[in-house]
Structure 1
Amino acid sequence: MKAENKLSKIVKKVTLLPKGWHASALSLVFGNVIKFAGTSKIRVEKLDFAGSKLSLKNHKRVQNHIGGIHAAAMALLGESATGFLIGMHVPDNRIPLLKNMNIDYVRRAAGDLTAVATLSDEQIKHIRDTEKGDISVPVVITDSEGNEPINAEFIWAWVPKKRGS
């Protein structure tokens, strides 16, 4: 049985909508909560307990000086894909925080980007059973040609909420 928190309950409600509406509804919800992700128009294609898939179109608001997706927007896509997935598992009495991100830009990105993040059953158990900890969340970011323009590692931590918050 999957543990539930506020985020996973929202995702569960969205899955009650017609399947064709899931990505738009999830993107709208997250774009309103995480303003920077909303501004960049990151699209939540899929989010469940096992993984996430987010995309970012190469549109003017996220472009760099050579017409590709800006380095910071690539980092935002990876952070969002890993952070939303971590958020599905961190209990409501804890706060998830990005602890570290390591990004190697290895090639110019062509067109749009897609980020896919996953967690193993062991990682999920660790997140749920450990009051305070951190974990590296695997993410693969590919461009329209199927290449990986960046290699990225996002380390997420979680800490107990302070009483009264």
Structure 2
Amino acid sequence: MSQVLTLWQRATSLPVVGASLGRRAFSFGFAQKAPYFRTVRPRFTVLRPDHAELVVPKRRAVQNHLGTVHAIALCNGLEAAMGALAEVSIPADKRWIPKGMDVAYTAKATSDITCVAETDRAQWTGDDPDVPVRVRGVRDDGTVVVEGVIRLWVTPRR
């Protein structure tokens, strides 16, 4: 089991702290490891192999001139979800690096945005080093505001 998944499970199952505070502590620590993610203040809600979800809160620091969540803040949230998913999904004998992102903005991001990243288990165990991670951002009312694919390059560890 990956260190990230172990940390998530411990943080969200501590009886004294509780799952809610544990999720916040994990999210804060994750953002410290990759400091640029701090700009969107990700709040992880779900993390398991092949699936990750986090919330990017709508706040002034991530808004554009229209008062909606900025497109790059959305991409930052999607990449954070993808990174956590990759860490908990990849086999121990492999490593990953992002190699591209293709997204479409489909609606205004007028609320907090839930960023979702998903893969299929077989993608990590095959011989193809190109692993597409499906990503989407969803408004509070269920409307998808951004969707696309982040492509990873997955190779054996040396």
| Distance of 1:23 and 1:15 partners within structure 2 | 6
Is residue 9 from structure 1 mapped to residue 40 from structure 2 by the alignment? no
| Distance of 2:35 and 2:146 partners within structure 1 | 24
Deviation at 1:51, TM superposition (A): 1.3
AA matched with 2:136: V
- How many residues align structurally? 155
| Distance of 1:140 and 1:40 partners within structure 2 | 16
AA matched with 1:142: V
Is residue 85 from structure 1 mapped to residue 85 from structure 2 by the alignment? yes
Deviation at 1:156, TM superposition (A): 1.4
Identify unmatched segments of 5+ residues in structure 2: none
Check the 8 A contact 1:110/1:145 in 2, yes or no: no
Is residue 158 from structure 1 mapped to residue 154 from structure 2 by the alignment? yes
Check the 8 A contact 1:83/1:156 in 2, yes or no: no
| Distance of 1:140 and 1:151 partners within structure 2 | 4
Q: Specify the alignment match of 1:71 in structure 2.
A: 71
Q: Please, what TM-score do these two structures have when normalized by structure 1?
A: 0.82
Q: Specify the alignment match of 1:26 in structure 2.
A: 26
Deviation at 1:92, TM superposition (A): 4.8
| Distance of 1:77 and 1:67 partners within structure 2 | 18
The DSSP-based 3-state class of the residue aligned with 1:88 is: helix
Check the 8 A contact 2:137/2:144 in 1, yes or no: yes
Cα distance, 1:50–1:101 mapped onto 2, change above 3 Å: closer
Identify unmatched segments of 5+ residues in structure 1: none
Residues 76-100 of structure 1: per-residue CA shift (max 9 Å, x gap): 1111112210111224554321111
Cα distance, 1:124–1:22 mapped onto 2, change above 3 Å: farther
| Distance of 1:152 and 1:71 partners within structure 2 | 13
Q: Name which of structure 1's ranges 139-148 and 52-61 shifts more when overlaid on structure 2.
A: 139-148
RMSD over aligned CA atoms reads 2.0
| Distance of 1:50 and 1:21 partners within structure 2 | 24
Cα distance, 1:19–1:99 mapped onto 2, change above 3 Å: same
Check the 8 A contact 1:95/1:161 in 2, yes or no: yes
